[in-house]
Amino acid sequence: MMKRAMWLKASVLTSVFLTGAVLTACGDDGNNAVDGGANGEGNGEEEVTVRLTGWQSSPTEQRYLEETIEAFEEEYPHINVEMDTIADQYMDVLQTRLIGGEAADVFFLDAFEAPRLIEAGVLEPLDDYITEEFDVDDFEEPLIEAFRRDDQLWGLPKDTSTLALFYNKDHFEEAGIDAPPETWEEMEEMAETLTVDNRYGFGVVTDLARLYFIAESHGGEVTVDNQANFTDPNVIDALQPIVDMRNEKEIAASPADVGAEWGGDMFGTERASMIIEGNWMIEFMEDAFPDVNYGVVEVPTINDNKGTMAYTVSYSMNGASEQKEEAWQLIEFLTGKEGMEIWTSSGLALPSRQSVAESLEYTDEAIYEPFIEGASYATVWADDTNLPIINSNFENQFASAFLGDQELEEAMEEAERVANNEIDN
């Protein structure tokens, strides 16, 4: 706390960074011109470096990505890919780099955040680069749709992840339940049987990213015209059971309730018998909790409707890139059939191309099946420019309703009011 020198700066925090940003931006413009001239001629065989920025959630992921990039470099020997990862607060860092003119040529972009960057005009539209051979129609329609805006394509989905229900087989056996639940009602009943003193039947992750499809399962809409619409009675009706499971029936808890870092931690340490999590859990469980005997099924149906979430991340191109041609070649390879096959063979993420999904064979088919099935009816976690604001306000208020500090209806009213107030400003 007593870092006065530092905090003196902090009181003018914005301006310090800003001056820096503006200065570098100006400086770079000059440089670009020079670099562009030097590079422009030697497009042929001269070595070109393309920078790629992303995040990394596990060493395995890193290994597979490196493998994919090696395959690319083999095919395009004159292109050298320089990969760097942003460990935390990816969007803040990326945005600051874009402002400063320091961003990579190609970067990961979550569908959830994409509209804001597209609107800002910092991305390169990809339509003109796409060839017939690339077969853009092969991508799953809802996934690629998340990156289309103003009739242009601003990124190509590198993969997708969906949610499914993980259940602990040993707990089920103990409780004398022989089959995993198929409907939400069954799931609640089982959760009740499964709850014992130090263990909850069901783990709930309280993010909007996870609950979006549940919130809309009764016919309500969470966002309308790029504004929050949480007070829709259908939305509240749909979310109420989740809150009741914790506060009335006491058969569910969030990872934070039991001191777990996230859902995987909660399920792995056997403090929840069931949890809705993504396919990234599979590798995590194998690494961290190989002894937990679990199964995966599709998310239980709500009102006889199947539902789940799908997340997708694209490779997008920096509009200010100096090597657009090479940058495209990288994107083309990574999201092309060959590159995607290498990348998604890890099982960490599912292919976003139909042809790859069909040809890919997983060693443990039964575990992957529910995720692949889910992709066909999933709600994609993407909306419009204001989704991040809507999301953070939902999270804040829903968490407090979930903890029982206020009624869900009140919380949703508050969340909607604050979110839309922030949007209007």
Contact residues for other proteins, defined by CB under 8 A: 1-4, 7, 10-19, 21-22, 25, 89, 91-92, 95-96, 98-99, 116-117, 120-122, 256-259, 388-389, 392, 395-397, 399-400, 403, 405, 418, 421-422, 425
When the beta carbons of 262 and 280 are compared against other proteins, the nearer one is 262
When the beta carbons of 91 and 360 are compared against other proteins, the nearer one is 91
When the beta carbons of 295 and 388 are compared against other proteins, the nearer one is 388
Contact assessment for residue 157 and residue 126, using Cβ atoms and an 8 Å cutoff: no
When the beta carbons of 208 and 310 are compared against other proteins, the nearer one is 208
CA distance 141 to 322: 31
Rg (CA), the chain: 23
Smallest separation, CB 359 to other proteins (Å)? 39
When the beta carbons of 14 and 376 are compared against other proteins, the nearer one is 14
User: Could you tell me the two tokens for 119?
Assistant: 């609107």
Smallest separation, CB 250 to other proteins (Å)? 16
When the beta carbons of 53 and 308 are compared against other proteins, the nearer one is 53
When the beta carbons of 130 and 418 are compared against other proteins, the nearer one is 418
Is 270 exposed, middle or buried (CB count within 10 Å of its CB: 0-12, 13-18, 19+)? middle
Smallest separation, CB 396 to other proteins (Å)? 5
Smallest separation, CB 244 to other proteins (Å)? 19
When the beta carbons of 301 and 396 are compared against other proteins, the nearer one is 396
When the beta carbons of 162 and 393 are compared against other proteins, the nearer one is 393
Smallest separation, CB 117 to other proteins (Å)? 8
CA 146 to chain centre: 12
Smallest separation, CB 252 to other proteins (Å)? 15
Smallest separation, CB 307 to other proteins (Å)? 26
When the beta carbons of 14 and 49 are compared against other proteins, the nearer one is 14
When the beta carbons of 17 and 55 are compared against other proteins, the nearer one is 17
Smallest separation, CB 265 to other proteins (Å)? 11
Contact assessment for residue 166 and residue 195, using Cβ atoms and an 8 Å cutoff: no
Q: What is the 3-state secondary structure (H, E, C) of the chain?
A: CCCHHHHHHHHCHHHHHHHHHHHHHHHHHHHHHHHHHHHHHCCCCCCEEEEEEECCCCHHHHHHHHHHHHHHHHHCCCEEEEEEECCCCHHHHHHHHHHHCCCCCEEEEECCCHHHHHHHCCECCCCCCCCHHHCHHHECHHHHHCCEECCEECCEEEEEEEEEEEEEHHHHHHHCCCCCCCEHHHHHHHHHHHCECCEEEEECCCCHHHHHHHHCCCCCCCEECCEECCCCHHHHHHHHHHHHHHHCCCCEECHHHHCCCCHHHHHHCCCEEEEEEECHHHHHHHHHCCCCCEEEECCCEECCECCCEEEEEEEEEECCCCCHHHHHHHHHHHCCHHHHHHHHCCCCCECCEHHHHHHCCCCCHHHHHHHHHHHCCCEECCCCCCHHHHHHHHHHHHHHHHCCCCCHHHHHHHHHHHHHHHHHC
CA distance 145 to 340: 19
